[in-house]
Amino acid sequence: MGSCRCEGGLLEHTVNVPSVMSAPEDTSQTGPPDSPRKGPHGPKVGRYLIYGLLDPRDQVLRYVGKTHLRREIRLRRHIEAALAGRRAPVCEWIRELHRHGVEPHVFVIERVPRDGNWQEAERAAIRMWREWPAHRLPVSIPPQTAKSVSTEVRGVMLLNVSDGG
């Protein structure tokens, strides 16, 4: 179960994000969950990540997605698609950032085991952020992986064109 802690003035809110993960994955044949493996589309990790793309200028969450790749590689793929002219709202936003000399900050929202239901996890994360009440911002997202750092979300304006999954 993931959790988000929100600090707003004198009030402190704690949000428990319901997990849709199944039982812990068996790593006896594959190594630790974070050990990369080479797949047809690049280095994979032993689980799915539900991630967010944050605007570094104002810390507004603009996109929620899932990946089986390391988050840095998935971010690079978003940037490559945007610079190649892909017509999607998230790509248009990334091109705008590029014109200002910055790129999105990618952070992990939730880890889903390889055999977990990543579709439901992605849908739940998109739904949660679309419904996030403005009075509960900013919110601090604690690190979800060993390489993560805490991320502060100051606003939400999702560019997702679907509900995920």
pLDDT in tens, 97-114: 999 999 999 999 999 999
Is the residue at 51 inside a domain? Answer: yes
Using the CB atoms, write b or e for 124-155: b if 16+ within 10 Å.
Answer: bbbebbeebeeeebebebeebbeebeebebee
- Structurally, the chain folds into a number of domains equal to 1
pLDDT in the model for residue 25: 34
Domain assignment of residue 99, yes or no: yes
Q: What is the mean pLDDT of the chain?
A: 80
The answer to the question of residue 98 being in a domain is yes
Residue 26 forms part of a structural domain: no
pLDDT band at 142; cut points 50, 70, 90: very high
Map residue 75 onto helix, strand or coil: helix
Residue-wise DSSP of 8-65? ETTEEEEEEEPP---SPPP-TTT-STT--EEETTEEEEEEEEEEEEEETTTTEEEEEE
Please report the pLDDT score of residue 42 as a whole number. Answer: 55
In a domain, residue 41? The reply is yes
CB 63 within 8 A of CB 52: yes
User: Which band of pLDDT confidence, cut at 50, 70 and 90, is reported for residue 146?
Assistant: confident
Q: Is residue 77 included in any domain, yes or no? A: yes
Residue 121: pLDDT over 90: yes
* Angle, helices 89-99/71-83, rounded to nearest 10 degrees: 90
Whose CA is closest to 45, among 142, 113, 143, 124? 113
Is residue 58 one of the residues assigned to a domain?
A: yes
How far is it, in rounded angstroms, from Cα 99 to Cα 111?
Answer: 32
Higher pLDDT residue, 150 or 148?
150
Residue 14: both structure tokens together: 């704690």
Q: What is the pLDDT of residue 104?
A: 98
| DSSP secondary structure code for residue 67 in this structure | E
More confident residue, 155 or 13: 155
Percent of the chain surpassing pLDDT 90: 65
- pLDDT value of position 45: 61
What's the domain range around 150?
Answer: 36-156
Dump pLDDT digits (tens) for 23-55. 233 333 333 334 444 555 555 567 899 999 999
The answer to whether residue 18 sits within a structural domain is no
pLDDT of residue 52: 97
| Percentage of the chain exceeding pLDDT 70 | 73
The answer on pLDDT for 89 being more than 90 is yes
